[in-house]
Structure 1
Amino acid sequence: MLEVAGLSAVEERTYRLLVAAVEADVSHLGDLLGMDVTDVEETLRSMRDKGLVRLVAPEGRRYAPVPPEIALGASLLRQRQSLDRARMFVDQLSAEYRGNIRRFDSRELVELVPTRDAIRERLIYLQDNARDEVVCFCRVGPVVLTAQENDAEPAALARGVSYRVIYERAHLEEPGMQSNVAYGIKLGEQARAVPHLPVRITVVDREVALLPLIQDSGVAEPTAALIRDSTLLDAILALFGAYWARAIPLRVLDDGALSMEAMPPLDSDDLFLLSLLVTGVPDKSIASQLGISQRTVQRRISHIMEAAGVQTRMQLAWHAAREQWL
């Protein structure tokens, strides 16, 4: 076991005996090891050179072990540092190799995953090894893994991985889906919804995407493509970003139910404020017409923007028009 620290098998046995005995003479060690005294002395000299033992009674040729944290700690630290440097070098070589081979072999960019079981295993594996973020398109009629079966997501969320998921509305109407999505949101998932999604997608760490190639969940054996870092992956990420920007945020109500509305219903004052805002009326004039302070106007606008899931007033106006609030 201690060969990683530079000990031979005989040296490890001798060191373990000394640790158990605290100290021992050469003759006694020879008896315990079943070795000739001359061979024991040679082993102990080697161990002294490595800083593993010390001579405590020269006349009696008695030896004691150097404490393990001193004798072995520094050596193991050096070994670990060497391994870390070697691992970094291997990672660099691997990245260089992948970058070069992709120019010659398209299979390094797109790998076919030919069966339902293989797709399922790869989907779970990707989530289990995610470091930063997972983004998904969840269409109606899952091919290999339902949301309820996806135990990898709660575990990933627990270790700090971000999830952004866009659900097709018809998928949210399936039995048990709304409570499942609400549970995911409580764990930290960012969820949005759109009327329709073009494909199913899972992208992990912006490095690899899993894309089923056949949409019909009733086929005997679906096939998926595993797409690695490439302009094709860039296009998939751009598609996700475009849908995410226009999707409606999902939230969990106080009673635990899932809300699929873009925001809570606006009262008449908020609708009036919004109508003035989108027609370009300044905040000061809005405050005057509503009989409130300009600061209150700005606070109410910020609240509406936050509920609508937008960042700017221009986005709020576009969102209000799309949702036919006015």
Structure 2
Amino acid sequence: MLDVLGLEAIEESAYRRLITLPSESVEELAAALRVETSDLAAALDGLEEKGLVARSTATPGHFVASPPALALGSLIVQRQEDIRRAQLELGRLAEQYRGVMADRSDTDVIEVVRGAQAVAQRFGQMQRGASAEVLALVKASVAVVSADENVDEDAALARGVAYRVVVERAAFAKPGFVDLVAESVKAGEQIRVTGDLPLRLIVADRSLALLPLAPTAADSAGGALLVHPSGLLDALLHLFDLIWAGANEVLPSENGTTELSADRLDDLDTRILTLLLAGLTDQAIGGQLGLSLRTVQRRVSHLMDRAQVVTRFQLGHEATRRGWL
């Protein structure tokens, strides 16, 4: 926990023990923590330099802990000042970068990332650097980092970054994938499901996109394209928005288990679809359900969008395939 303030694990353990005691010797503290005396002595020197411990004047050879509010408070203020300076430097660097971007050619807005390790690094950096939202298109096959290995996603969700992810339906056939998605949904991630996705994609804050590329005969290590603000990035964002609008929402099941319902319809849509497939006209459906013609037409249109079809005949086929009825 205190590693964020620059404390090593042995330093934190020693300080935590000392704040519970009037004082303790190096030998006693080393024995209690089960570490070498020489290692502990070095750790106490570090704590003394940081102002977290002091040598006891009452008992020679013993150490006492400094008050946490005073000692740790000063470290926190120092770290906050370091972060403030880093933020100022980030602003200056960003301004320089924007100036260079204005003079870049069309090819400069795309960076080629080569090798699986480099792609995985960029993948993590984008999530760690995201401040508002991460968008992703996830194909069934794994490109670089599998869903259960993506620890940066958990950390980003914990600090309030919104995730909107569209997953290929075939991915749910993988053992354990349904439970993994259920955990993500419970953590606040929005997940939708669709058929085949045209590509893999991750976008951070709608300002930087990464397109992992499958390995080829010429490049067995694979790679990715890193896309900066440009017309191409705008097109990728538009593609994501279209896929998101037509995909089906993933929701936890009502009984609280890890089962998911990716194609759940509300009761009214189910009744409309049942009557539609029975051959009733929109006017007749409205009369049966007490709805206006416009309302029936609007909800049928919404169902067609969800099913990603253009005709009502296709809607019937897709509704059967998805198990809506």
TM-score interval, normalised by the smaller of the two chains: 0.5 to 0.7
Residues 280, 98 of structure 1: alpha-carbon distance in 2 compared, 3 angstrom cutoff: farther
CA deviation vs aligned residue, 1:124-158 (integer Å, no higher than 9, x gap): 11101111111111112212100000011111111
Residue among 290, 309, 314 paired with 2:301: 314
**Would you say 1:324 and 2:325 are equivalent positions?**
no
Distance 2:201 2:270 in 1: 41
Gaps of 5+ in 2: 1-77
Distance 2:284 2:92 in 1: 60
* Displacement of 1:215: 5.8
**Would you say 1:111 and 2:98 are equivalent positions?**
no
Residue among 100, 103, 111 paired with 1:101: 103
Counterpart AA for 1:324: A
Q: Which residue of 1 aligns with 2:180?
A: 180
**Would you say 1:224 and 2:219 are equivalent positions?**
no
* Displacement of 1:101: 3.2
Secondary structure of the equivalent of 1:128? helix
Secondary structure of the equivalent of 2:319? coil
* Displacement of 1:317: 5.4
Q: Which residue of 2 aligns with 1:65?
A: none
Asked whether the equivalents of residues 206 and 237 of structure 1 are also in contact (C-alpha less than 8 Å), the reply is: yes
Asked whether the equivalents of residues 211 and 224 of structure 1 are also in contact (C-alpha less than 8 Å), the reply is: yes
Distance 2:165 2:195 in 1: 14
Q: Which residue of 2 aligns with 1:125?
A: 125
Task: Give identity over the alignment, percent.
Answer: 33
Q: Which residue of 1 aligns with 2:241?
A: 241
Distance 2:306 2:107 in 1: 41
Distance 1:146 1:186 in 2: 19
Secondary structure of the equivalent of 1:123? helix
**Would you say 1:161 and 2:161 are equivalent positions?**
yes
Larger CA deviation: 134-143 vs 251-260: 251-260
**Would you say 1:142 and 2:142 are equivalent positions?**
yes
**Would you say 1:250 and 2:245 are equivalent positions?**
no
CA deviation vs aligned residue, 1:240-263 (integer Å, no higher than 9, x gap): 111111111111112221223243
Secondary structure of the equivalent of 1:98? helix
Asked whether the equivalents of residues 215 and 221 of structure 2 are also in contact (C-alpha less than 8 Å), the reply is: no
TM normalised by structure 2 equals 0.59
Counterpart AA for 2:167: Y
Q: Which residue of 2 aligns with 1:22?
A: none
TM normalised by structure 1 equals 0.59
Q: Which residue of 2 aligns with 1:53?
A: none
Distance 1:150 1:251 in 2: 21
Residues 264, 216 of structure 1: alpha-carbon distance in 2 compared, 3 angstrom cutoff: farther
Of structures 1 and 2, the larger Rg is shown by 1
Asked whether the equivalents of residues 199 and 215 of structure 1 are also in contact (C-alpha less than 8 Å), the reply is: no
Residues 313, 268 of structure 1: alpha-carbon distance in 2 compared, 3 angstrom cutoff: closer
Distance 2:232 2:269 in 1: 46
* Displacement of 1:273: 6.4
Residues 102, 83 of structure 1: alpha-carbon distance in 2 compared, 3 angstrom cutoff: same
Asked whether the equivalents of residues 209 and 233 of structure 2 are also in contact (C-alpha less than 8 Å), the reply is: yes
Asked whether the equivalents of residues 211 and 225 of structure 1 are also in contact (C-alpha less than 8 Å), the reply is: yes
Asked whether the equivalents of residues 269 and 299 of structure 2 are also in contact (C-alpha less than 8 Å), the reply is: no
* Displacement of 1:213: 2.4
**Would you say 1:204 and 2:199 are equivalent positions?**
no
Asked whether the equivalents of residues 111 and 226 of structure 1 are also in contact (C-alpha less than 8 Å), the reply is: yes
* Displacement of 1:269: 4.8
